[in-house]
A and B are shown apart, each in its own frame.
Chain A
Amino acid sequence: MTISLDAVYAVSDDVVAREIEGEIIIVPLVAGIGDLEDELFTLNETGRAIWDKLDGRRSLNEIIKELSAEYQAPPGELEADVLGLVSELARRRMLVAV
């Protein structure tokens, strides 16, 4: 799956994202999101930091710039994380391009 850094992504209507006790829990709403019908998902620390910015308004490039400033990390390193997370979530139908 090719992800453009100019693209804007938002949480898909096929899932419900909840924050419980500081953890993001992604709950499939429709069939076919998980391999099994009762699976829930959560994000690692890196995924969580990126997820918080996937609001359907900012492009991935903008998100990388913001994260770079916040974490004082090189944009190139962050790009791999952002593309990794977004492609994984998009493949699972948890994110959609808007």
Chain B
Amino acid sequence: MSKATPSYVAKVSAARHRLWPGRAPLLGQLDLELTERCNNDCIHCCINLQENDSAAKKWELATDEITAILREAASLGVLSARFTGGEPLLREDFQDLYIFARRLGLKVMLFTNARLITPDLARLFARIPPLEKIEVTVYGMRRESYEAVSRVPGSFDEFRRGVGLLLNKKVPFVVKGAVLPPNWKEMEEFETWAITIPAMDTPPTYAMFFDLRGRRDSTAKNRLIRRLRVTPEDGVILLRRRGRAYLQEMRQFCGKFMGPPGDLLFSCGAGHGACVDAYGMVQPCLLMRHPDMVYDLKKGSLKDALTNFFPRLREETRAANPDYLARCARCFLKGLCEQCPAKSWAEHGALDTPVEYFCRVAHAQARDLGLLRDGERAWEVNGWKERILRYDN
């Protein structure tokens, strides 16, 4: 026992390495996709099903199945659960699930379009705070632009009302955008509004390099999503809007995460957390829907997925596609490129096919940062380490 301790209680950072130096709980992050259904029908969405899709609703996990997952996740040491979708507030048992998670001592991170925030729900978030800022995606600053994206009449007013309720109850939330043809001229207006939101301590982030449908369920929708993607060159201009902060981040990032990944397909953080889809399949990340890469929780446990299934996937899933081996496996832009097995699956129905769009984006970004010269292909650059060192310094 100590006499000289000034305080017995310490505030802790949720960063796992600071809480448990040298060791960490088995489960670092839990994502729960509560439903794939959404009350918006966004033109660029890679997940959403119709709000009234009765077949999807029928197959969704029941309340007690989700509470059992939350209970196991808590027992594995997770601190935070992300409730996402689809629109998670569409679930009639949302409040029960939220309170259950919070009573287990979990923080809850909610991703929502805010349309279904009610006075009751705002009061609940004020009384029992999620302990993570709610994240609200904004599709436009005006009815015309918002609803050109959401494709639901009345959705803009509902979103504004939901956000107003959160503000009124002082519930901390942040906003983020999606750069799309109907709203791209409103970015400055969006950012000017965003800085008035009390919990916004950094500028809003944007989605712009959109993913195709993770379930590979609609070629028509995929065609539309492809048309909505910004060009690599415009993407670079948009990234550059953040000025020095972007360049500083890139410098740090490139110093840490560049280098050829080889033939191991999971060189990312996939499989270190658990992403449970609406039907009880655990995915190694939110995007990965390949049937051989997911684990059925109804026949097993999170612990088994984390200790047996995912480690095996990470170790054994290797590229065989000659095009991938000749390019991606040897490419030092791995840290900049969004190429991954999940995106390869969504685009091509295989885990190891290069996704040309992400390749072009990464090359455009690398040229802009001075890591590549015009006409160079990153997998052919021999002195990449020197380039990174020069850039890092």
Contact = CB atoms under 8 A, between A and B. Distances in A.
Interface of A: 16-18, 20-21, 23, 25-31, 34, 37-47, 49-50, 67, 71, 73, 77-78, 80-81, 84-85, 88-89, 92, 94
B102 A29 contact: yes
Contacts of B79: 20, 25, 40
A27 B107 contact: yes
A31 B129 contact: yes
A40 B14 contact: yes
A78 B8 contact: no
Nearest to B102: A29
Contacts of B3: 77, 80-81
Contacts of A38: 14, 107, 131-133, 172
A85 B8 contact: yes
30 contacts: A16-B103, A17-B105, A18-B74, A20-B79, A21-B19, A21-B20, A21-B25, A25-B79, A26-B9, A27-B107, A28-B131, A29-B103, A29-B128, A30-B128, A30-B129, A31-B127, A37-B129, A37-B131, A39-B12, A40-B12, A40-B107, A43-B9, A44-B2, A44-B7, A44-B8, A77-B3, A81-B1, A81-B3, A81-B5, A88-B8
Interface string B101-137: 0111111000000000000000000111101110000
Interface string B18-39: 0110011100000000000000
A15 to B, nearest CB: 8
A21 B24 contact: yes
B11 interface: yes
* Chain B interface mostly: loop
Chain A, interface SS category? mixed
Q: Which of A18, A28, A37, A67 has the most CB of B within 10 A?
A: A37
A44 to B, nearest CB: 6
Interface string B239-252: 00000000000000
A89 B20 CA distance: 22
B105 A44 contact: no
Given A25-B79, A88-B8, A92-B9, A46 B1 contact: yes
Nearest to A80: B3
A81 B19 contact: no
B127 A67 contact: no
Contacts of A40: 11-12, 14, 79, 107, 131
Nearest to B105: A16
Nearest to B99: A29
The size bracket of the interface on B is 20 to 34
Contacts of A21: 19-20, 23-25, 77
B10 interface: yes
A79 to B, nearest CB: 11
B12 A41 contact: yes
Nearest to A89: B9
A89 B2 CA distance: 17
Given A37-B129, A44-B2, A47-B9, 6 more contacts: A16-B105, A21-B20, A25-B105, A27-B107, A42-B19, A67-B1
Contacts of A42: 9-10, 12, 19
A41 B1 contact: no
A43 B11 CA distance: 9
Given A25-B79, A38-B107, A42-B19, A84 B9 contact: no
A20 B78 CA distance: 9
B129 A25 contact: no
A94 B107 CA distance: 17
A44 B25 contact: no
Contacts of B172: 37-38
A77 B11 CA distance: 25
B79 to A, nearest CB: 7
B19 A23 contact: yes
A43 B128 CA distance: 23
Pick the most buried of A17, A31, A43: most chain B CB atoms within 10 A of its CB. A31
Contact of B8 (A20, A27, A31, A43): A43
A87 to B, nearest CB: 10
A16 B104 contact: yes
Given A29-B103, A71-B1, A81-B3, A20 B25 contact: yes
A38 B201 CA distance: 14
A39 B131 CA distance: 7
B131 to A, nearest CB: 5
B20 A39 contact: no
